[in-house]
Structure 1
């Protein structure tokens, strides 16, 4: 049996009143109350013989003897002596702050639940503050002795205004009682200490502190051995998560778990009950970060909105299984659309979200998302299924005259998606596979909980690669599902094998590229087959502080094994080899600016010469090749095609100039401007369709220019343009002004123009230019209130493409967004852009109850896509 020995030390110091401090160590034996009475009688009746000197005085000190009795004696104590006390039962304790703090650290009273306004927070505390909060819960520092010890390993220190010792080893303390035992601290108006039972009963204005925890109440019972705590009319605060609440009774039977009767739970700041959970039984486990509650109602501004018989939720960032917040919306086509996500925390490294969903005008369906994470890979599987679609309720939709049904009515609708990424050292893998049952799936149903984006082409792509001795080897396959009605299907690639190597020997760089591809197509009239691409290059790479000179010799070879020749050709095994010579050289000139102090101005001319042999390529198919978009960067490329089915037969000289303005103190580029042009030495003959147009006979390309300037720390101006000197017109231009400040403060103003060839229909020409302006912003009005908006206008056709305006409110405990939006839906059956398109309108609501869940994630995607630079909040 473990023997516990108590030690009681009574120190009496008189300084116009008396002071007492009781210190009890956790050791157990039998204390004899008669010995205690004899001890006090000896002090109070016989008196204390104090040897008064100028530097020391005598003080009685008592300890337990071997037999459990008291052993008392006098000790010489440094300091001035004081008259002995005159009371024989109750000893008044003077408020000697210096001595009391040293012997018994006082509990720091919680002012406004330890809430500190943001103007009083330190820089480090501000960085940890939750977004939208105007302050934070800050726990007082612990700097007293034993503050890092567990209570069972530390002495109990007690201080009060007065103390009465009663028989049977019971001490009654009253008047500003403070108890400290290791990291646990408590205070109350009065307390009763039972040394035999090792219990403390506290009464009146109770505050109990432990690391990350504050408990308050009217009355409390504490067991110093088992650490059990019971508090009546309690309130609690968990500093780390910011969770707080109240309870008629709060119990913590040892350990970390709290059992709360008739309690509340919220993460709002003091005085704000924007939302709270009210429960008859609430169980909070800070150790696991999980809380469960019975007979729960969610109240928003004290108004009950939802009742749940049972709920399980996370009180911090850790995941826990349970019901997530439901999602609902209403539309003309689908009616009520209600979803109830169920989160399953299956293991620390994988989980699932199952979402039953009811769409009023289409039927019942379900969505499922499963995630798996390991040290080597990350995989997400998503799927959705709707059996026998009811067809929706769109009055504008045409009903099939033969079947009498709407489009997709009676059909099973589904969506499947797999996203995988693996890194196994030298071996890497990716898989991106998305497929839908039909072209209209996203337009009709979209998703509520799945991380799948609607796109015109759903990609199915897999890649496996590894590197060894400077060789990069990979095998991949890809395909696309076209969601554009009557849109052309893409080629399927299965497989493609690549083996590439880059290395240097002195000033010489070598690049070896080898690629084998197999192409197939759903349309039997399309040319299919296999292609071998080889591209070998050697460069002399010479650099100096003032410039560089890089000549390159390159050879490109393409060979095909076709299932049938290209239309109009006879060769099913065509091949072509094209040698290419390149000279790339440039000069760096710089000087200190005379008109702007502290800046360096540079001037960087660049010359790029390409000579590619002319080879007939009319018998080559087009598997993955298109003409690259022209811009300033195009001036310094030896290839004007993307893909591997064509090689440009260019004989050209490109001249470009770049100038920069660099801040000497920070090294930041404040301004950059570039301009240039290509001069063709011969006509080009290689094209995508074997035809030669006027662009291929030009002597020079359009001028291309770019401009960028940083206006302060937050402003940025961008512009680009291509000007055709032959036609004296602007082919393409764009300009934008952006502001990106703190707290998601954004402003974007942009304009773009693209000169397109007019469309001729029934002998009449139609303007096909693209000219659009765009304005978007996100502006914090206060710390809690933001406004967001966008206005995207089609200048060519005088119509609004998209406009929305929204208000966002955020506090410590809730994030609410309301958005009104009007936009034009895509219609793949429209031929001319000036034709009338259907205009949709909608009101979107997003609500996130911090600490529980939320709904309305669609609105976040609208803002992210519509406002450049916008980032959805993370907490």
Structure 2
């Protein structure tokens, strides 16, 4: 009886099976899908026939048949040369975890903070390793191969199968070439770029990405996410995992893990969904949730963020739980229920929207019926109790917007308003810098830029958040219109500045206790707020001539100020004052350099600079002061044409500034290792324009002895009448790749006093090892305050020392510290101490902080200010969620150079 061709082929494979090595197994599997028995499209074809011989063996031979051969399905043919030993799928030892000592330098650089190793995916070094599996031939290797029926092969012993970038390894496998299904048994390993799945058994579709693995383990190399499951399926790139665990810890660590009955992971979106979830720390359940959704990498996903937990003197326990809502790819929201033990429940909301052109953040907070806080440190008999807001609603509104990103037009909103002046101090637990804020800006602006012009409109006002009786609300700019032009014709530059501003004030009809100058009232003046419009025009022409060895920039500018006031300045009669002042400037400098003799490979530069200004005096005593103050004198101030910032004064002067800068530059890298600058202004005539209405030109010219004035007036007059400025110097030294020293000094030779000095030594390396030591001194004009119906001078000098550090003492442990001390008044400003622990998969920070509380009604430096105390705690499970934190905010504000490390 004739036997079908398929039976013949199966029999032939059995006959040859024992003669094939591992390489032969590859060829045998290839024959299963590639060797034809008869040619197609022929009128006849050959067919094997086998009959039983007399001795019981098979007698087979070819027989010619009429008609056409039955067409066979076509599949990608394996391309394996006889000398190829087949694919080599690397064994997943310990989930591809590699200890630090075995990592390359490049891999060690990428190792996450706190880790002692990394998940390293083995290289694919075989042919077609980068091809998509749908376009690549299948390669198979095993110790032995047998064919059970047509197109079905069983492979045993170290089975390895690859198809493009997909790799499979197991103890045995059954491959069906018709269905393209491979069933694997024993020590199954499945690999794709960035993914490793292991299990006891598996079924994989080689034409798609679908698979099912029993008793599985999985790993995503990039994020470090790993876990186990009784069963894991992948359908359309999504993993469905039953009885799953999830963690980012290194192998063998039980620091934390999620245990879930159902877990879905989508690597494309970076989102995981879990049901009936419990969080275990060292195998101890600490949290249960019926459902959670969280990111597996640094992409955004709705869910709970890490809470903040603080304990302080005034508020007691302060707990906030952020809830993040990823509403769309370009906008999201964070809702934060917050409980403050001594004040009650409150809520905070933040909405963010981003597009190609705009970036907007709207946030707010509300506390209903404040319980008042713990005021045990306050004296209940005090007339002023700035902490007691019992029974009041407290709130905050903030809007930040930037529009026109990358366009010629731009819109901007920076608006912050709070219910009361003590909101930030009582409810924000912020750092000293935030507590020291005195004004909140409320700004709206729009502008359009062309090649030569910038047109803008802006409205701005401020909310005063201080109860200091010597401080008042600032003026409102409603609106400010600007048109600024810049043209360059060869070496000539034209600057055209046009500005119109309308100034208003909420208290324009109130009588002041005195005239405000800077921060101090004068006891002999009475006045009201002046409101009105101001027009400022500055038109300038500069000849900008530059060479490799220097530059020469003479310029002339015409400055004009005119006003339309609702009422004249106190003591004046003109409600439409104006002034026009010409200004001439010569700015020139040289660049000289030489090779150093003592240090090889360095260049030393000498850069002298001459700056001459002539500005004619014009009487400006009838001009108001809406937004102007005198600039803080620094080395850079040597080379500015005006000593005022703002638009209400044009400083008169006839001066020559001389400066010298020298640098030490490494020739091979261009790195500046040292820079030193020193300079001084020489005044050729007295100056008379000031913000003090008492110090007119006639008064100053007739002044016999400045000591007859109060100290504030005396210092202003002496500065206007002196022949030269203080010496201004800057110094910067690069001690090593990570260590810097900087200093700047103002020394007054006339008084033999240091007006200001700052020095800092800073170390900051790539491992976030930070060390800061700084000192600052600023001699300031004393404040005049009315105490007991008598004006007295209060010392306002600032002298402070500041030390801060973030010091890793091991791979995982870091010390945190800051000590800020007020040398003027011999008191602590802020003391901060804590530690941080960080491993591969979690981080904990705890900080104890003591800071000086602000009290606007304490004026004398020898009066006691209360200190607030707080403990701030943060814990993060990496790969589970992420959030900002008060701890991070405190560290960033308190430790110069500190930046949070990424969790991924």
Normalised by the size of structure 2, how large is the TM-score? 0.84
Question: 1:166 & 1:597 partners in 2: Cα distance?
Answer: 80
What are the Cα deviations for residues 762-781 of structure 1, in whole angstroms up to 9, with x where unaligned?
Answer: 79876543211111122222
**Corresponding residue to 1:429 among 411, 419, 431:** 411
Contact 1:601–1:662 under 8 Å retained in 2: yes
Aligned-pair CA distance for 1:106: 3.1
Question: 1:728 & 1:166 partners in 2: Cα distance?
Answer: 104
Aligned-pair CA distance for 1:244: 0.3
Task: Report the equivalent of 2:546.
Answer: 543
Q: Does 2:29 match 1:23? A: yes
Q: Does 2:158 match 1:176? A: yes
Q: Which moved more, 1:539-548 or 1:509-518?
A: 539-548
What are the Cα deviations for residues 217-262 of structure 1, in whole angstroms up to 9, with x where unaligned?
Answer: 122233456654222221111122211001122222x322222222
What are the Cα deviations for residues 802-836 of structure 1, in whole angstroms up to 9, with x where unaligned?
Answer: 12122222222112212222221222222123321
**Corresponding residue to 2:283 among 299, 302, 307:** 302
Task: Report the equivalent of 2:701.
Answer: none
Q: Which moved more, 1:193-202 or 1:416-425?
A: 193-202
Task: Report the equivalent of 1:873.
Answer: 901
Contact 1:26–1:154 under 8 Å retained in 2: no
Aligned-pair CA distance for 1:208: 1.4
After superposition, the Cα gap between the structure-2 partners of 1:48 and 1:782, relative to the gap in structure 1 and judged at 3 Å, is farther
**Corresponding residue to 1:859 among 875, 887, 900:** 887
Aligned-pair CA distance for 1:716: 1.6
Contact 1:508–1:539 under 8 Å retained in 2: yes
Aligned-pair CA distance for 1:274: 1.8
Q: Which moved more, 1:386-395 or 1:618-627?
A: 386-395
Aligned-pair CA distance for 1:867: 1.4
Task: Report the equivalent of 1:100.
Answer: 85
SS at match of 2:731: strand
Q: Does 2:182 match 1:211? A: no
Question: 2:23 & 2:451 partners in 1: Cα distance?
Answer: 84
Task: Report the equivalent of 1:186.
Answer: 168
Question: 1:133 & 1:66 partners in 2: Cα distance?
Answer: 64
Q: Which moved more, 1:499-508 or 1:435-444?
A: 499-508
Task: Report the equivalent of 2:118.
Answer: 136
Task: Report the equivalent of 1:85.
Answer: none
Contact 1:847–1:856 under 8 Å retained in 2: no
Task: Report the equivalent of 1:515.
Answer: 499
Q: Which moved more, 1:320-329 or 1:432-441?
A: 320-329
Q: Does 2:615 match 1:612? A: yes
Aligned-pair CA distance for 1:141: 2.4
After superposition, the Cα gap between the structure-2 partners of 1:152 and 1:674, relative to the gap in structure 1 and judged at 3 Å, is closer
Question: 2:386 & 2:742 partners in 1: Cα distance?
Answer: 52
Task: Report the equivalent of 1:710.
Answer: 734
Contact 2:585–2:614 under 8 Å retained in 1: yes
**Corresponding residue to 1:688 among 663, 687, 691:** 691
Aligned-pair CA distance for 1:405: 12
**Corresponding residue to 2:673 among 670, 682, 690:** 670
Aligned-pair CA distance for 1:444: 1.7
Aligned-pair CA distance for 1:479: 0.9
Aligned-pair CA distance for 1:723: 1.3
Task: Report the equivalent of 2:843.
Answer: 815
Question: 1:170 & 1:311 partners in 2: Cα distance?
Answer: 44
What are the Cα deviations for residues 611-631 of structure 1, in whole angstroms up to 9, with x where unaligned?
Answer: 211111111100000111112
Contact 1:847–1:854 under 8 Å retained in 2: no
**Corresponding residue to 2:334 among 327, 346, 353:** 353
Task: Report the equivalent of 1:792.
Answer: 820
Aligned-pair CA distance for 1:117: 3.0
**Corresponding residue to 2:640 among 637, 645, 650:** 637
Q: How many residues align?
A: 822
Aligned-pair CA distance for 1:593: 2.2
Task: Report the equivalent of 2:566.
Answer: 563
**Corresponding residue to 1:480 among 462, 470, 477:** 462
Q: Does 2:490 match 1:506? A: yes
Contact 1:131–1:811 under 8 Å retained in 2: yes
Aligned-pair CA distance for 1:570: 0.8
The two structures, once aligned, show a CA RMSD in angstroms of: 3.6
Question: 1:401 & 1:542 partners in 2: Cα distance?
Answer: 66
Question: 1:401 & 1:832 partners in 2: Cα distance?
Answer: 16
Task: Report the equivalent of 2:394.
Answer: 413
Contact 1:26–1:152 under 8 Å retained in 2: no
Task: Report the equivalent of 1:239.
Answer: 221
Aligned-pair CA distance for 1:403: 14
SS at match of 1:445: helix
Aligned-pair CA distance for 1:19: 4.4
Task: Report the equivalent of 2:713.
Answer: none
SS at match of 2:849: strand
Q: Which moved more, 1:181-190 or 1:308-317?
A: 181-190
SS at match of 2:865: coil
Question: 2:726 & 2:660 partners in 1: Cα distance?
Answer: 15
Aligned-pair CA distance for 1:689: 1.3
Q: Does 2:134 match 1:110? A: no
Matches within 5 A, 1:252-401: 252=234, 254-397=235-378
Aligned-pair CA distance for 1:482: 1.1
Question: 2:435 & 2:445 partners in 1: Cα distance?
Answer: 21
Aligned-pair CA distance for 1:320: 1.8
Contact 1:30–1:68 under 8 Å retained in 2: no
Question: 1:864 & 1:303 partners in 2: Cα distance?
Answer: 34
Aligned-pair CA distance for 1:363: 2.7
SS at match of 2:810: coil
What are the Cα deviations for residues 416-441 of structure 1, in whole angstroms up to 9, with x where unaligned?
Answer: 11111112622111111111111111
After superposition, the Cα gap between the structure-2 partners of 1:181 and 1:519, relative to the gap in structure 1 and judged at 3 Å, is same
SS at match of 2:803: strand
SS at match of 1:444: helix
Task: Report the equivalent of 1:752.
Answer: 776
Q: Which moved more, 1:611-620 or 1:196-205?
A: 196-205
List alignment gaps of at least 5 residues for structure 1. 50-64, 72-76, 80-97
Contact 1:784–1:811 under 8 Å retained in 2: yes
Task: Report the equivalent of 1:699.
Answer: 723
Aligned-pair CA distance for 1:164: 4.2
Larger relative contact order (C-alpha < 8 A, sep ≥ 6)? Answer: 2
What are the Cα deviations for residues 626-675 of structure 1, in whole angstroms up to 9, with x where unaligned?
Answer: 11111211111110111011111112222222222222222222222121
Aligned-pair CA distance for 1:854: 4.7
Contact 1:652–1:680 under 8 Å retained in 2: yes
What are the Cα deviations for residues 105-163 of structure 1, in whole angstroms up to 9, with x where unaligned?
Answer: 13211122112234443454445443333332222222434444554555544332233
Task: Report the equivalent of 1:737.
Answer: 761
Q: Which moved more, 1:135-144 or 1:163-172?
A: 163-172
Task: Report the equivalent of 2:631.
Answer: 628
Matches within 5 A, 1:580-595: 580-595=583-598
After superposition, the Cα gap between the structure-2 partners of 1:672 and 1:28, relative to the gap in structure 1 and judged at 3 Å, is closer
What are the Cα deviations for residues 451-507 of structure 1, in whole angstroms up to 9, with x where unaligned?
Answer: x99833111112211122401111111111111113311111111111111222232
Aligned-pair CA distance for 1:169: 6.5
Contact 1:398–1:406 under 8 Å retained in 2: no
SS at match of 1:860: helix
Question: 1:305 & 1:577 partners in 2: Cα distance?
Answer: 75
**Corresponding residue to 2:663 among 653, 660, 663:** 660
List alignment gaps of at least 5 residues for structure 2. 1-5, 38-46, 62-67, 75-79, 509-527, 696-716
SS at match of 1:20: helix
Question: 1:126 & 1:28 partners in 2: Cα distance?
Answer: 47
SS at match of 1:480: strand
SS at match of 1:865: helix
**Corresponding residue to 1:849 among 873, 877, 881:** 877
**Corresponding residue to 1:441 among 407, 412, 423:** 423
Task: Report the equivalent of 1:95.
Answer: none
Task: Report the equivalent of 2:524.
Answer: none
